[in-house]
Structure 1
Amino acid sequence: MPTGLEDKMLKDSKAFSGFAVDDLPAAKSFYTETLGLDVTEENGLLRLQLAGGNAVLVYPKPQHTPAEYTILNFPVDDIDAAAKELTDRGITFERYSDQQDGLGIYRGQGPLIAWFKDPAGNIFSIIQN
């Protein structure tokens, strides 16, 4: 049973999340060119640099099967403007509900949100702050 300093071993760790893709070059192109993210590549892995100093690890996985849920949410101040900009960049928003408007923004209970997929089929969202 941990005691003392050992109790903080993971509490103070700068944890990060990761997810898989089936085509690393296609993913890198999408994240940098379409989404405008800062992406670094090292040792065959991608690191998405997010606001606030956070990062997400992206790793290649043959026969990748995407999750059936949202794996990465991007809070935005103006979801309508963000949805229009992403649509102009070639993003197609997913349709999960009849409560989504013409832009693909869900306007039912809860936050305003719109979902889209990366080239590997992973689900991302923009969500109103």
Structure 2
Amino acid sequence: MSRFRNKRRKQNDTEAAKSRISSENQTTFTNAFSTFSVSDVQKAKKFYGETLGIDVKKEEEGLRLEFEAGQVVFLYPKDDHKPATFTVLNLPVDNIALAVDDLAARGIKFEKYGGEIGTDEKGIFWGKKDGHGPNIAWFKDPDGNILSVIESR
């Protein structure tokens, strides 16, 4: 009986050790960031930095967009860049109407959509009004990447 207990105890100790190793080695994700491509890094730097007013840092591999709350987006050059057909970057704002007016004054042209995602004449989809999502307006960067301003309240 004692031999069985010792064998069982060793098995339990081994299983416990494996469990500790497994839980100690679980992957932890910190400081996640997003990336997307552009065809012209200089053009992107001017657009994101000067037109949008985002803090842009030039790096060897591309551009680093840094936001006040610590988020980071990395833009990398790609010779055969093809823009995504979906939104690659959402920019939260407190007031969608004011943000659209401000950005339009800086030369941003907002997308206009009909149908289910019908936007108004300024390009704003008023989703909160009908309970169909957030208030949001889409526009494109010089490479055709789809961006949005989205009301955070």
TM-score (norm 1): 0.92
2:29 to 4, 9, 12: 12
Greater relative contact order (Cα < 8 A, sep 6+): 1
| Matched residue, 2:126 | 107
Q: Output one character per residue of 1:36-56: Cα deviation in whole Å (capped at 9) or x when no partner.
A: 000000114100001311111
Q: 1:80 aligns with which of 97, 106, 119?
A: 97
Is contact 2:56-2:64 (8 Å) kept? Answer: yes
- 5+ residue gaps, structure 1, are none
Give runs of aligned pairs for residues 21-100 of structure 1, distance below 5 A.
21-98=38-115, 99-100=118-119
Is the Cα contact below 8 Å between 2:134 and 2:151 reproduced in 1? yes
The farther-off stretch of 23-32 and 98-107 is 98-107
Contact 1:47 1:55 in 2 (8 A): yes
Length-normalised TM-score, structure 2 = 0.78
Where 2:53 maps in the other structure, the secondary structure is coil
SS at match of 1:53: coil
Greater share of helix: 2
| Runs of 4+ with >2 A deviation | 96-99
- Measure, in 1, the Cα distance between the counterparts of 2:81 and 2:35: 14
Q: What SS does structure 2 have at the residue aligned with 1:20?
A: strand
Moved more, 66-75 or 41-50: 41-50
Report the count of equivalent residues: 127
Greater displacement, 78-87 / 41-50: 41-50
In structure 2, the residue matched to 1:121 is 144
The 8 Å contact of residues 24 and 59 in structure 1, kept in 2 or not, is answered as yes
Q: State the percentage of identical aligned residues.
A: 48
Structure of greater Rg: 2
Deviations 1:49-106 (A, max 9, x none): 0131111110000010010000100111110000000000000001222521121101
**Equivalent residue letter for 1:60:** P
List alignment gaps of at least 5 residues for structure 2.
1-17
